[in-house]
Amino acid sequence: MVLRRLLINRRNYLNNSINMSLGNLDEEIVIASHNSGKIKEFRDLFKKYKIKIKSAADFNIVEPEETGSTFSDNALIKARETTKGSGQVSIADDSGLCVNALDGDPGIYSARWAGEDKNFSRAIDIIKDKLENKKVKKTKAHFVCSLAVVWPNQQYKVYEGKVYGKISFPPRGNNGFGYDPIFIPNGYKITFGEMDPSEKHSISHRANAFNLLKLELLNDR
């Protein structure tokens, strides 16, 4: 009984220590990305909280190699590198499109399919060609977003959100970025690329992950 109480007390102490070390987010956060579209979405998400958003590019931080096997692994790699380079709280997003008929591809390789020049038109063509080879025109798919928050003391938290829908060609819409023009979320007839940004932000994978983050860290201040 004594040992059990000691273990429970130690677990509670550790949990309280972690919670205290996390606290609220700072007034300035660095987003571990050079993607202007992604940075804009984060600014929109954090707008009501009066938190200043900077990017890894503002600190000349080179994007690290993403060697993880999951979205969460890669998000942590990027957030840790950005916190190390900036000395500030960093948030990294690793997200991607998972197409059922392609066995979950491009998945964690979503950005890499676009190449170093971030040509998502080419990446979309790759998906189209692969689906045509399988004689599939429309297929179920989902977006995944893992948000990793890393503090200068190396404590971290990871939040994951998803949104389900289907792939549709040809691409439609000029809003958003990446694979948005070919993704229709469940319950809608338009793509993310056609959707008003405010509406997308309310249902997207990134918004779903952010909702989990804000419940724990932002306290709706």
Active site residues: 94
Q: HSE-up of 19 (CA within 13 Å, CB side)?
A: 7
**Whole-number Å distance between alpha carbons of 185 and 147:** 20
Q: For residue 43, give Cα distances in angstroms to 29, 48, 50.
A: 10, 9, 10
**Whole-number Å distance between alpha carbons of 95 and 143:** 7
Residue 137 makes CB contacts below 8 A (sequence gap 6+) with: 131, 169
Specify which residues 35 forms β-bridges with.
none
What residue has token string 């660095």? 30
| Amino acid present at 185 | P
**Whole-number Å distance between alpha carbons of 31 and 35:** 10
Residue 100 makes CB contacts below 8 A (sequence gap 6+) with: 139, 140, 141
Q: Which of 43, 44, 38, 94 is nearest to 64 (CA)?
A: 94
| Amino acid present at 90 | S
